[in-house]
Amino acid sequence: MRIIKKNAMFYMMMIPIVVYFAMFAYYPLVKGIQTSFQDYKLMGERPYIGLDNYDLVIHDPSFWDALWNTLYIGGGILIIGFIAPLLIALSLNEVMKSWFKKTAQMLLYVPHLLSWVVIGGIFIFLLSPDTGLVNMLLVNIFGMNPINFMADESWARSIMIGSAVWKDMGYNCILFLAGIAAISPSLYEAARMDGATRWQQVRYVTLPQLMSTMKVIFLLNTLGLLRIFDQIFVMRNPAITSKVDVLMMYTFQKGIMEIRFGPAAAASFFVVLFTLLLTVMVRKITRFDEV
Amino acid sequence: MKKNAVIAMILAGTTLLSACGTNNSGVANSSPYASGTGSPAASADGGKLEILTGNVGGKTPEGNAEFEKELSEKLGLDVTLDKPASDYDQKVLTSLSSGAKYDLIEISDLAKLDVFINQGVVTDLSDFVQNSTVLSDPSVIPTEEWEQVKGPDGKIYGVFSKFQGATMPIIRKDWLEKLNLEEPKTLDELYTVLKAFKEDDPDGDGKANTYGLSTSGLYDIQGIMSAAGLKSRYVMQEGKRTIPYATDAAIPMYEWFAKLVKEGIMDPNFITNDTAKMRNLFLTDRVGMITYWDAWVGMFNNLKKTEDPNTTFQAEGILSIPAADGTILMRRGDPDFWIIPANAPHPEAAKKFLEFWNTQEGITLGSLGVEDFDYTLDNGAYTLTEIGETANMDHGVPYWYNSTVKSPFPALPGVEDAMALSKQYATLELSLSTWPDAEKIVNNYALKAMSGQMAAKDAVAQMQKELKGANLID
């Protein structure tokens, strides 16, 4: 009690934050869970129907397709989107010319600032079979037939993964570079005195010292794995939906397009549940608590 | 300590208020009168009218404010016009599900009307329509049209916002003339024309940079699928749900499209095109035929004429390709209509609006816009202002049912002929609640077959298997 009194000002400052999260995060979450047990109608009676909505979702093949697509695309983004910026950050760290380093960072970061509407438009344009730069190169330099990348199922997931990685590469790269910058120079000095080469310095100093940053970034990216939506919404088309429709698209389809809020809420609950499970798994695997 | 506590309280209060402020985008705050500034005093019940609309109003925020003011004056009501800039359907659903109260909501999807009836959202307007001297007049709204907005129980749940036309093949008539070709009447003739559009340099720039046909995915190939007598979406046959595009009869049609794709006659981006991209291709001389709304025939011609008065560009709406038995299938679009939600606070004010909207005054407002802002009236002569020109005589009502109201301006070139075809041949599609699920399957395999990624026979077989498996056809 004495401690509470002593820090009363700080506790009071926390009130709006707690109220904010209660109102705009936890209240909707609880309402969503409630809806998932109801025959939810826009107006009038909303009777409770037990687990019917969950039963419907579980027995809907589209849901499992969407889950598999989410894990495939989200997993790809998680892994490649983790490794690629790490490699670039390590490479940039070895670059001595600061102007090159700064320019490269800036250029890599710019796509992160653009919305998916812009990025989607850029990719659709670049990959267009008649006027797209990629196909022009394939046709004019390699003499290949144009590929309709955006309408071909065999390319669909790779394009989603590639574009997502490209978009956020700079952002993750900056986080890694910040972690690298925090490593004590004395460690490198000691390694050099022991005769370590540049590669050995990376292998035995940078990577171990960067481990905690890597764990944080990996965990943060895991949290977003099942929530991919904007990108798919912008870049999908009817020819590739079966390969790219993700869980959030499924929820959107059920809730907004079909006005079936009960099943949509049940599907959303699964997203929350799966995210929780994934996060716990990643924490265990990465021994996050040892950060 | 006390001083610190006061500071902390102020900080907490301001943070909370700012947090709420950034998230309260609800209906109450979206109303210009909700803040209490510059608001006409709330009149007695029925004196206010809150409208949620996707199409009606001005084209800019200023134009919308003028429209709202004009509507208030004309109706003698305190009108609030909520016109979201985007994602209208989502706004409707989130508003209804959050308990927001509107007196009128504009809808443009008949399938949604059935859902809303099931969800207890809409008010029965049968008595109102039948007893209204304006709305029950067949010259204002033809009697048979009301069938569209009836629920399964035979009651009327909506009132039309405007006349909705149909979609059809729209062709470059000037290209036809230049290449000495006739308007295509069979699938073979259509192929010949489209091939010529691709290969015979119809734009005369000496480059092979044109396509015969462009669509926006499967939207809307009805004018061509008509050749096999295939109606889009669901068709009930002996009480069973069928999807003609998923039947064996569709196989030769998909093969026909695949041939166009293979020979480079079809715009290769047709799968990823949205309708705006398709329109732009047509307007920029890249493609000779598209499939789109009749109203756009006039708008295409007008846009090109405004751009270049000497243009030879001439768009023309043509008939769908007849089936072997002579049947012509055209797709009539779902109407735009108003509903009065069950929780509307001022239903009588809403009814007043619905009658007004179908009178000469209402139609003038919905088409030309606001006097002295969108147009001027001088001794009976109407002149569009610059803002009015941009709005293209469309403030939610580019075309209307009321046959007693004539437009003060001549129709845009080509649109009357196109609409005459629509009125003669176009029929509504059957919208069942299972269509969104079925559409995904049909679109997926139809596009694969059309683009040649999959043999049409296999695509249709797979389509049928999945539709049956998901209980989407009987």
Tell me the pLDDT tens digit for each residue of B200-246: 999 988 888 899 999 998 888 999 999 999 999 999 988 899 999 99
Contact A15 B115 (CB under 8 A): no
Distance from CA of A48 to the nearest CA of B (A): 15
pLDDT in tens, B96-116: 878 889 999 999 888 888 889
Q: What is the pLDDT of residue B32?
A: 33
Interchain contact A257–B (C-beta under 8 A)? yes
Contact A42 B13 (CB under 8 A): no
Provide, as residue numbers in chain B, all residues whose Cβ is less than 8 Å from the Cβ of A16: 12-13, 15-16, 19
Rounded CA-CA distance B470/B463 in Å is 11
Distance from CA of A238 to the nearest CA of B (A): 5
Interchain contact A198–B (C-beta under 8 A)? no
Higher-scoring residue by pLDDT: B11, A65 = A65
Q: What is the pLDDT of residue A290?
A: 64
Distance from CA of B449 to the nearest CA of A (A): 10
Contact B453 A129 (CB under 8 A): no
Provide, as residue numbers in chain A, all residues whose Cβ is less than 8 Å from the Cβ of B1: 8
Residues 6 or more apart whose CB falls under 8 angstroms from that of B328 comprise: B226, B319, B320, B322, B425
Q: Give the angle subtended at the CA of A116 by the CAs of A112 and A118, to the nearest 5°.
A: 90
Number of residues written out for chain A: 291
Q: What is the pLDDT of residue B41?
A: 38
Q: Which two tokens stand for residue A114?
A: 């653009």
Provide, as residue numbers in chain A, all residues whose Cβ is less than 8 Å from the Cβ of B87: none
Residue B36 has pLDDT above 60, yes or no: no
Contact B447 A153 (CB under 8 A): no
Measured CA distances, B400 to A193, B195, B338, B407 (Å): 86, 38, 14, 10
Q: What is the pLDDT of residue A97?
A: 82
pLDDT band with cut points at 50, 70 and 90 for residue B120: confident
pLDDT band with cut points at 50, 70 and 90 for residue B143: very high
Distance from CA of B459 to the nearest CA of A (A): 12
pLDDT band with cut points at 50, 70 and 90 for residue B3: low
pLDDT in tens, A218-229: 998 998 888 899
Tell me which residue in B119, B217, B451 faces A148 most closely, judged by beta carbons. Answer: B451
Nearest Cα residue in chain A from B95: A42
Q: What is the pLDDT of residue B42?
A: 40
Tell me which residue in A61, A239, A253 faces B447 most closely, judged by beta carbons. Answer: A239
Contact B93 A256 (CB under 8 A): yes
**Is residue B385 classed as helix, strand or coil in its secondary structure?**
coil
Distance from CA of A291 to the nearest CA of B (A): 32
Contact B93 A148 (CB under 8 A): no
Tell me which residue in A43, A128, A255 faces B121 most closely, judged by beta carbons. Answer: A43
Rounded CA-CA distance B34/B36 in Å is 5
Give the A window 125-164 contacts with B, CB below 8 Å: 128-130, 146, 148, 150-153
pLDDT band with cut points at 50, 70 and 90 for residue A234: very high
pLDDT in tens, B379-415: 889 999 999 988 888 899 989 999 999 999 988 899 9
pLDDT in tens, B157-195: 999 999 988 999 999 999 999 999 999 999 999 999 999
Higher-scoring residue by pLDDT: A288, A24 = A24
Residue A66 has pLDDT above 90, yes or no: yes
Would you say the C-alpha torsion A103, A104, A109, A110 has a positive or negative sign? positive
Rounded CA-CA distance A68/A90 in Å is 33
For A20, phi then psi, to 5°, come to -60, -50
Q: What is the pLDDT of residue B26?
A: 31
Distance from CA of A61 to the nearest CA of B (A): 9
Mean pLDDT, range B52-61, rounded to an integer: 92
Nearest Cα residue in chain A from B264: A130
Contact B89 A41 (CB under 8 A): no
Tell me which residue in B4, B9, B272 faces A237 most closely, judged by beta carbons. Answer: B272
Rounded CA-CA distance A246/B202 in Å is 44
Residue A231 has pLDDT above 90, yes or no: yes
Residue A86 has pLDDT above 50, yes or no: yes
Q: What is the pTM of this model?
A: 0.80
For B25, phi then psi, to 5°, come to -105, 25
Provide, as residue numbers in chain B, all residues whose Cβ is less than 8 Å from the Cβ of A242: 440, 444
8 Å CB contact between B330 and B320: yes
Interchain contact A242–B (C-beta under 8 A)? yes
Cβ contacts from A onto B, under 8 A: 115
Mean pLDDT, range B25-34, rounded to an integer: 32
pLDDT in tens, A207-219: 999 999 999 999 9
Contact B437 A15 (CB under 8 A): no
Residue B9 has pLDDT above 70, yes or no: no
Q: What is the pLDDT of residue A175?
A: 93
Least confident of B129-138, B405-414, B427-436, B442-451: B427-436
Distance from CA of B440 to the nearest CA of A (A): 7
Tell me which residue in A13, A257, A258 faces B12 most closely, judged by beta carbons. Answer: A13
Residue B11 has pLDDT above 60, yes or no: no
Q: What is the pLDDT of residue B395?
A: 93
pLDDT band with cut points at 50, 70 and 90 for residue B21: very low
Tell me which residue in B12, B443, B448 faces A12 most closely, judged by beta carbons. Answer: B12
Return the percentage of chain B with pLDDT > 70, whole number: 90
Contact A241 B343 (CB under 8 A): no
Q: What is the pLDDT of residue B81?
A: 94
Rounded CA-CA distance A238/B217 in Å is 8
Interchain contact A259–B (C-beta under 8 A)? yes
Residues 6 or more apart whose CB falls under 8 angstroms from that of A56 comprise: A263, A266
Mean pLDDT, range B79-84, rounded to an integer: 94
pLDDT in tens, B269-303: 999 888 889 999 999 999 999 999 998 999 899 88
Rounded CA-CA distance A105/A113 in Å is 13
Q: What is the pLDDT of residue B20?
A: 37
Residue A27 has pLDDT above 60, yes or no: yes
Q: Residue B439: how many CA atoms within 13 Å on its side-chain side?
A: 18
pLDDT band with cut points at 50, 70 and 90 for residue A291: low
Contact A238 B217 (CB under 8 A): yes
Q: b vs e for B215-243, b when ≥16 Cβ sit within 10 Å of the residue's Cβ?
A: bbbbbbbbbbbbbbbbbbbbbeeeeebbb
pLDDT band with cut points at 50, 70 and 90 for residue B333: confident
Residue B23 has pLDDT above 60, yes or no: no
Contact B23 A24 (CB under 8 A): yes
Contact B269 A130 (CB under 8 A): yes
Contact B272 A242 (CB under 8 A): no
Contact A152 B453 (CB under 8 A): yes
8 Å CB contact between B70 and B365: yes
- Rounded to the nearest integer, the mean pLDDT of chain A is 91
Q: Give helix then strand counts, H and E, for chain A.
A: 16, 0
Distance from CA of B8 to the nearest CA of A (A): 6
Q: What is the pLDDT of residue B13?
A: 46
Q: What is the pLDDT of residue A44?
A: 79
Nearest Cα residue in chain A from B273: A237
